[in-house]
């Protein structure tokens, strides 16, 4: 086993692109080490471009599998000597009519967004306990704080994640392990690429955001990195909207538009 490195050792799921990749890069830039997890090796190829000196390793697998989560912990311990934090970011979004969306799609949404987080938490806790403390951050969504048209499956899953985070924070607090969630609003990622490609819908969403623009993955990653840090030592069970002000609005009226 190699000697522990200086800086945080963090598992990041859904690390191939979007918020997960941005979080991985942010943590590496801060002197940490990352075990990056995603479903396909090709999607993690960008890690190879970081060079042989990069303190990052990869695990390929489905996060709904207990084996994949166990492999990620084992890789962190074998490669870097310990585990300090985990960022459970992997997620999927399914849209469809409440009466027509196949239940198989609903089951998959729950599996990736909720089951995988529960499995992930269970897998990392022993290693975090061994270190005397730890940080767990989950990527939820503003869609977990309310309802959206035709996103009932995603709303259900992310709403469950929000309360899973709260319950885990209560259960793990005595171990010195904090558990928090970030709730991104409309953010420019691969998962939202379909919406971004529809100009009318993209503009409609932009107009609902008080800051009058979509978020960037690195802006979400900055909050994730903070919540994994020592500076966030007394924050747990928090649900943090990173949404440009979307959840500050009652929804009755649109925010004031950009000045001409």
**pLDDT number for residue 193:** 60
Report how many domains make up the chain: 1
Residue 210 lies in a domain: no
Residue 153 lies in a domain: yes
93: how many CB neighbours lie within 10 A of its CB? 20
Residue 3 lies in a domain: no
Our CA dihedral for 51, 55, 58, 64, rounded to 10 degrees, sits at: -150
**pLDDT number for residue 202:** 77
pLDDT in tens, the chain (260 residues): 333 334 899 999 999 999 999 999 999 999 999 999 999 999 999 998 998 889 999 999 999 999 999 999 999 999 999 999 999 999 999 899 999 999 999 999 999 999 999 999 999 999 999 999 999 999 999 999 999 999 999 999 999 999 999 999 999 999 999 999 999 998 887 766 666 666 777 788 888 898 888 899 999 999 999 999 999 999 999 999 999 999 999 888 888 887 65
**pLDDT number for residue 89:** 98
**pLDDT number for residue 1:** 36
Residue 15 lies in a domain: yes
Contact 9, 86 (CB under 8 A): no
**pLDDT number for residue 7:** 83
Residue 193 lies in a domain: no
- Which residues are tagged catalytic? 154
**pLDDT number for residue 198:** 67
Cα–Cα distance for residue pair 123/136, rounded to 1 Å: 12
Tell me the backbone φ, ψ of residue 88, rounded to 5 degrees. Answer: -95, 95
Domain that holds residue 144: 9-187+215-245
Residue 91 lies in a domain: yes
Residue 96 lies in a domain: yes
Q: How far apart are the first and last CA of the chain?
A: 60
**pLDDT number for residue 2:** 39
Residue 256 lies in a domain: no
CATH number at residue 81: 3.40.50.720
Element (H, E) at 146: none
């Amino acid at each position: 086993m190699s000697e522990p490195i200086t800086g945080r050792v963090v598992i990041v799921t859904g690390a191939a692109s979007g918020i997960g990749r941005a979080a991985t890069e942010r943590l590496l830039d801060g002197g940490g080490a990352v075990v990056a997890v995603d479903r396909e090796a090709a999607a993690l190829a960008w890690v190879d471009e970081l060079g042989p000196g990069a303190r990052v390793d990869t695990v390929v697998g489905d996060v709904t599998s207990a084996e994949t989560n166990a492999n990620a912990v084992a890789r962190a311990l074998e490669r870097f000597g310990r585990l300090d934090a985990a960022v459970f970011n992997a997620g999927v979004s399914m849209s469809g009519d409440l009466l027509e969306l196949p239940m198989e799609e609903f089951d998959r949404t729950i599996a990736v967004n909720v089951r995988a987080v529960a499995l992930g938490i269970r897998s990392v806790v022993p290693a975090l306990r061994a270190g005397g403390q730890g940080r767990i951050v989950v990527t939820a969504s503003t869609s977990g704080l309310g309802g959206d048209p035709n996103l009932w499956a995603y709303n259900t899953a992310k709403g469950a994640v929000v309360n899973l985070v709260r319950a885990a924070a209560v259960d793990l607090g005595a171990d010195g392990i904090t558990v928090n969630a970030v709730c991104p609003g409309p953010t420019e990622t691969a998962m939202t690429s379909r919406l971004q490609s529809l100009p009318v819908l993209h503009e409609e969403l932009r107009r609902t955001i008080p800051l009058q623009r979509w978020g960037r993955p690195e802006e979400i990653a900055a909050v994730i990195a903070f919540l994994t840090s020592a500076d966030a030592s007394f924050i747990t069970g928090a649900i943090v909207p990173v949404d440009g002000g979307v959840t500050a609005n009652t929804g009755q009226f649109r925010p004031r538009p950009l000045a001409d």
